[in-house]
Structure 1
């Protein structure tokens, strides 16, 4: 294994971390609160974003889950509150809003799941964000494999000295491949991670092809196809 990756096992459950859930839809709020509590987290739920901000100014939370489709969330995002502790944020957002939201995200500090969401996807992203929040400060965090580097705080990627001009979907795919280096990802796994649903084989193939043309201009090639199974990132001579 090269770069900064290690074989750390994913956490199956929470370990009592304190989460704030902000969701105006009662059904969404109940589903999130119940699911996260059963997964081992301590939950505080509020309906309005302004109430969530008030709790954040008074209390410490390990992570915030926000239904970004709420009517007051956009206005809240324009404020610059003074907080002693800024926890990572998981946004639940409509697919149509991704082009606006993704460039603004400091992935690693914030992440998103598209609506309608799967509970499994929410739990997975919560685990990733909580692990990241216990790592190095955000300004120092980057994912890398050999000379391929992805800087989550700036949403930038480069291969050696060459900057990669990636679309939000290409960036999301590259991040998924980097985090899972040497592991074959199926087209369905890629589709659900990048867009929140499975877009069909042709859409995945085109996306991978575009990313490969940008990443693999230099040798060695890092993005590979496992026919009949999916795609993986890494050196061929060190494939696990």
Structure 2
């Protein structure tokens, strides 16, 4: 079964209209997880181009993602050259929050879309406080590590609430905005350990926590134990999703 975050992303892409035969640009593709989702949706007749400025992440994507429908390109999506052609849609997950000017980034992206082209973005937001009827100190500590890292990197920790506005100001017509919570229970888990492991170099570089404090190898088990002992349901963050189209 897909993890909770992947399921949220997949629903967004399907509802936004990503379908068989489309040519889709995955901006800030990282290690290619969303690219793989897109490849399944566009089918045998479709094509996915993943673009990212991080050569290390792209190296992992090229090594682990073996799919003829997916091409990975190193570069800045805001200034993608015409050699890559036009796309039916552009999608991104946790990308706009790292842009100095999200509106200008979206305007740049619009230049590589076909008329009435689709944009679908998913952005997390730290504004909504973590929620549980029972105190869960380890959960709150892990959440703080992640968001503190993003903030120290200069990321916009409130991009979710600003998503619809950014799309509108970039000249697109927003068709839907939604917000979904990542809900965890004693029996429903979120792969926090894998996320922390991927973020580890960034966490250490920004001085947010030490490897010993993180305890990545046991963090998932400890989080499950904390929820189980408290018999608690936990909402750690809100995930905003929106899709919009270029005007006619």
What TM-score bracket applies, with the shorter chain setting the length? 0.3 to 0.5
Q: RCO (CA 8 Å, sep 6+): is it higher in 1 or 2?
A: 2
> Normalized per residue, which structure has more helix?
2
Q: TM-score, normalised by structure 1?
A: 0.36
